[in-house]
Copies of this chain bind each other. A is one copy, B any other.
Amino acid sequence: MAQQQLPDSPPLAPAGSGDPGPPAAGTGGPPTTTATGANALTGSAGATLARYLHDQATAFLRALSLRGEHETEADEQLRASARRIGGVLHIYAPLTDPAWAEPLRAELGWLAGTLAREPQYAGRLLRLLEALRRLSAAADPEAPDGASGGAGAGAGQGADAPSGEEAPATPAPSASSGNGAPLALGAARAGALLDRQLTLARTRAHSATLQAMGSSRFHALADSIAVLASEVPLTAAAESPAATVLPPLAAQADRRLAEAAGALPLLRAAHPYNAEAVQAALGTELTADLQDSPWHQVRVLLRLSRYAAEVCRGAGPDDEAAARRLSAAAELLARHREAAESAAAVAAAARTPRIAPATAYALGVLHADQRHEVEAARFAFSRLWQPDDRPEDPDDDQGDRGPRRSPVPGARKE
């Protein structure tokens, strides 16, 4: 889909208008494949940047035109393009007019954030129900587990059964005073509670998205992107050759990423079962936030680094390998964030007034489980990021897993 021509009048139809638009394929495809080709660094820096922005703007406008039919896929593409345009304008800021780029970036951030919310809540609910299902698995390893998304515990009561209110004052249910049955029932109730809360959040996010897409604010943004598809307000610096201007700016993004990632406690995280992420699971949320935010920050810098590389990437095998590594790392940090935010959602659900103790217990198990997922993602990331830095024998540290005993490494460069 290299250098596809824009339709003469970009379909700026508001959401749901059903405008078919150009029958371009691949709005659901992987958004990373932008066709800048092998000769990205020939010509002027401005031309290369404009080509990338043009591609993204085209993808954005095409997704917009398809939104009536395939809302989810279209929104995903809108978000991906919005992030890429915003990110690239940030990284290659010296090449574009700041008076034009800065407000556009702010609007792109608003749109990407708005569009992100609904899929986040949907994914979080699926993730938590799946975890609950796993945590309340029956003893029989041959038990059918095909039913997706159900927190069906072994108590003969599916996740959907307590669809009404959370029974506030009833104690543990009768006929289940035996081994663990109340806990299994608690899992079903916890699933129902999370389902209610996250479905409500999702519905609200959907309404907010619809409202945003119909707003004049969005129409103005879409107009700006349409302009971007045809011409980019460049600065004088953009007239220099791409090969001399773009790589240093991309390298700067890489450097920021390497510094931030190097400051993470990677050595620590490379030890399996270090029990750090689950630490403070019962403390204030601030503890988890303080611990998680450097990792989230690296996730953002990783994204910027990937977008920067997309603009000036050749097709060499080195670039391919580097791109794959960044992509894998991004996936791990995305999982890190999903787990961290899911854990926070569980903690929030546990603060619902008058829930039954069995429900609270199940939420506690689920919270700790998600914090362990956070730890697992950190482990995988640290192994990926510093493969040479592995401890010789991870068994050695099983003895001293005290959270504060082993020194956290200082800021280390990659």
A: which residues have CB within 8 A of B?
Answer: 132, 134-139, 141, 145, 153-154, 171-172, 179-184, 186-187, 272-273, 275, 278-287, 290, 332, 347, 350-351, 353-369, 372-373, 375-377, 379-380, 383-384, 393-395, 398, 401-404
Contacts and interface: CB of A to CB of B under 8 A. Distances in A.
List the 7 shortest-distance A-B pairs measured between CB atoms, nearest first. A364-B364, A272-B272, A368-B368, A273-B376, A357-B360, A136-B282, A361-B364
A362 B364 contact: yes
Contacts of A360: 357-361, 364
Given A135-B280, A368-B365, A179 B353 contact: no
A349 to B, nearest CB: 10
Copies of this chain held together in the complex = 2
8 contacts: A181-B284, A272-B273, A332-B398, A364-B366, A364-B368, A368-B368, A368-B369, A376-B401
Contacts of A372: 273, 275, 278, 368, 372
Contacts of A375: 273
Main secondary structure of the interface of A (DSSP, over half): helix
Contact of A395 (B132, B154, B280, B380): B380
Max chain B C-beta neighbours (<10 A), residue from A154, A183, A365, A375? A365
Contacts of A138: 280, 283-284, 287
A63 B265 CA distance: 48
Given A332-B398, A357-B355, A375-B273, A139 B368 contact: no
Nearest to A283: B136
A330 to B, nearest CB: 14
A365 B179 CA distance: 19
